[in-house]
Amino acid sequence: MPYSSESFKSFNPTGEIILALLIIGVLMILAIVVGILAKKADPTKKPRGLLLLVEWCVEKLDATVHETMGPGFENFGGLLLAIIPFLFLSFTIGITGLPTPMSNIAVPLTLALITFVLIHVTSIRYTRWRYFKRFIDPIPVFLPVNLISMWAPLISMTLRMFGNAIVGWVLISLLNSLLGNISSAIFSFAPAGLNSVFITPIVTPVFHAYFDLFSGFIQTMVFVFLTMLFIAQERPEDVETEVALATRKENHV
């Protein structure tokens, strides 16, 4: 059935989705700018400014990936470099009063789905046909249980990010309402509507700093480290040993 103009008119994304797309757009433009700066940079001179910051982030992420995941995941830092700023900005943008993209379950579900797919792709990459054996371990009767538990990382990571975003939004909303009522009672002599805004700007920044900045940073780090751990554990120990030995030989050569 061909699409009509009515199909596009019915597309009505929420504010959270629009903000998520805007964040992606800004990060894409930033990546293009960094790419242009990298091409024009003189390799014999020390980088400065934005290029220096990006190179420092890349080095730190590569080192973290190597320490956490081991050899064989050398290119994984690039994925984290894309996910981390998006996830952190999606949590912290709420401090401006705009809707937090993470409060729309489609956003955390998409991020968790990336991890879920990479977990199973990594397992297939290293175990090949033995991948399917995981569903009947330790005995075939455990097949239904294993099929259900397979979705645990996807569900837990989605609900963790979504729950933290919703809790922060609800508490800040309740606090704003409470402080507005207190302010209206204290400054009842002021015009209606204006008398409710005197206390809120003084108190809420502290809670925004926790629920948006601190909590956003913690949730970003938790998601990143869980992603690395879940994916790294899909590589069998014998394969890990072989990869480590091969990497050592290459370094010695």
DSSP-derived letter for residue 213 is I
Structural domain boundaries in the chain: 83-243
68-75: long-range contacts, CB 8 A cutoff, minimum separation 24: 68/225, 68/228, 68/229, 68/232, 69/228, 69/231, 69/232, 70/232, 70/235, 70/240, 70/243, 70/244, 71/240, 71/243, 71/244, 71/246, 71/247, 72/235, 72/239, 72/240, 72/243, 72/247, 73/231, 73/232
CB 3: neighbour CB atoms within 10 A?
7
Closest CA to 107 of 218, 170, 13, 171: 13
* pLDDT one digit per residue (tens) for the chain, 253 residues: 454 555 445 556 778 889 999 999 999 999 999 889 888 888 788 888 888 888 888 889 989 998 888 887 888 888 898 999 999 999 888 787 778 899 899 999 999 999 999 999 998 988 888 888 888 887 888 888 888 888 999 999 999 999 988 888 888 888 878 878 887 777 777 666 666 667 777 777 777 777 778 888 999 999 999 999 999 988 877 555 555 545 555 554 5
The SS3 call for residue 233 is coil
Rounded Cα–Cα distance for residues 101 and 79 (Å): 20
pTM of the model: 0.80
Rounded Cα–Cα distance for residues 168 and 99 (Å): 11
135, 145 contact by CB (below 8 A): no
Rounded Cα–Cα distance for residues 7 and 15 (Å): 20
